[in-house]
Amino acid sequence: MFDENPITKRLGITYPIIQAGMAGGITTPELVAAVSQAGALGTLGAGYLTPVKMRDTIQKIKQRTDQPFAVNLFVPENPDFSQKKVSQANDWLEGIRQELNMEEPAQSPEINNDNFQGQIEVLIKERVPICSFTFGLPSREIVQRLKNADITLIGTATTVDEALANEERGLDMVVMQGSEAGGHRGTFLGDFEMSMIGTIALVPQAKDYVSIPIIAAGGIMDGRGALAAFILGAEAVQMGTAFVTTKESGAHPLYKQAIRESSEDKTAITKAFSGKPARGIHNMFMKNFDKVEQQLPDYPIQNELTKGIRKEAAKQNRPEYLSLWAGQHPRSSTEKHAKELIQSIVSQINSLVDGLTK
């Protein structure tokens, strides 16, 4: 009943379940391929990858599956650069760097927006069937080029207006990212705080106003959440946190453990790691910046400033300084293989539907 709809047909998948592209090493080729092999849609989170690394990873995915998969990209932004803010942020980060025995950072991080253009070329050359975007809209020119290459395009929205902007730009379907969602907010039109709309309110309003198919995201961890999203009008669900703890995920073991031990009241929205609001498990790093986060440089400048710290913290097994992105529904996380997770979601949906129709 739920598994044949315009989204599954268009994407060529069996189940309307999308594993979110999660930049930063979580979406290993093993994870993406396992999800796609199981009949859902695996997504490579390529936001931070160079075009060369992205191409190599795509090739590794292709060696593992002949099923459709997606690549997720970040639409680049041009932040205002303030040397004063960078120096101040570096001063605030100094204590953590010392604790981790790190060297002085560069004072002016380099932001390279050419990366995005290179990533687009790789998508086309590698004939990636599906591409999803967050942090804004790709240009009309890029949309046209990707469409000419027969690539299905998925946008991200946190409000109905953003979904309409995706539709107008020519994207084929749109992820409605509710405020429960783990990771960065995709907000690109309105005020971040005013755009914190829960999935249960966001999805039906989008369904009523938007013509392209809707994918629900945020707090969906199992068949109950997925079925609820379908009833609200979504034709697929996108899940992030649930896949972070799977066996194939590349997340640090202490990050997986932190999600497994977390609860609905342990996550918060922070700009501390990247300069852009994102939801993660509240830890020491976030606490340090709670009071000054409005004074931090914008994304992606702050992201560049904290990159080395996160890398070093991972090496030294210090989760208090890692970005532990997670949604508001961590209690239902499991440590299954991705295939088992997908099978359990599907069988739970089927038994819930059976119960409803009895």
In the complex with ligand FMN, which residue's Cβ is closer, 108 or 113? Answer: 113
Q: Look up tokens 């938007």; give the residue.
A: 210
Rounded CA-CA distance 306/297 in Å is 11
Q: Could you tell me the smallest distance in angstroms from the CB atom of residue 329 to ligand FMN? A: 6
- The count of chain residues that interact with ligand FMN, using the rule CB under 6 A, is 29
Q: Could you tell me the smallest distance in angstroms from the CB atom of residue 73 to ligand FMN? A: 8
Q: From residue 306, how far is each of 115, 143, 168, 267, 273 by CA, in Å? A: 20, 32, 36, 20, 6
Residue whose C-beta lies closest to ligand FMN? 240
Is residue 23 close enough to count as binding ligand FMN by CB under 6 A?
Answer: yes
Choose, by CB under 6 A, the member of 16, 29, 42, 47 that binds ligand FMN: 47
Positions 211 through 250 that interact with ligand FMN (CB under 6 A): 217-220, 238-242, 244
Q: Could you tell me the smallest distance in angstroms from the CB atom of residue 357 to ligand FMN? A: 27
Residue environment code for 204-217, b if the CB has 16+ CB neighbours within 10 A, otherwise e: bbbbeebebbbbbb
Site string for ligand FMN, 97-136 (x = CB under 6 A): -------------------------------------x--
In the complex with ligand FMN, which residue's Cβ is closer, 207 or 256? Answer: 256
- Alpha helix positions (H), 175-279: 199-209, 223-232, 241-244, 253-260
In the complex with ligand FMN, which residue's Cβ is closer, 167 or 180? Answer: 180
Is residue 72 close enough to count as binding ligand FMN by CB under 6 A?
Answer: yes
Rounded to 5 degrees, what are φ and ψ at 71? -125, 135
Q: Parallel, antiparallel, or unpaired for β 173-177 and 236-239?
A: unpaired
Choose, by CB under 6 A, the member of 67, 115, 158, 177 that binds ligand FMN: 177
In the complex with ligand FMN, which residue's Cβ is closer, 214 or 326? Answer: 326
Q: Look up tokens 């253009």; give the residue.
A: 117
Choose, by CB under 6 A, the member of 2, 273, 299, 325 that binds ligand FMN: 325
Positions 262 through 321 that interact with ligand FMN (CB under 6 A): none
Q: Percentages helix, strand, coil for the chain, rounded to the nearest 5?
A: 45, 15, 40
- What sign for the dihedral angle of Cα 140, 141, 147, 152? negative
Is residue 183 close enough to count as binding ligand FMN by CB under 6 A?
Answer: yes
Q: Could you tell me the smallest distance in angstroms from the CB atom of residue 177 to ligand FMN? A: 4
Q: From residue 24, how far is each of 73, 188, 335 by CA, in Å? A: 12, 21, 19
Is residue 171 close enough to count as binding ligand FMN by CB under 6 A?
Answer: no
Kindly state the DSSP code that residue 41 receives in the 8-state scheme.
B
Can the peptide bond before residue 300 be classed as cis, meaning omega within 30 degrees of 0? Answer: yes
Burial class (CB in 10 A: 0-12, 13-18, 19+), 257: middle
In the complex with ligand FMN, which residue's Cβ is closer, 55 or 256? Answer: 256
Residues near ligand FMN (CB under 6 A) = 20-23, 26, 45, 47, 72, 134, 156, 177, 180-183, 217-220, 238-242, 244, 325-327, 329
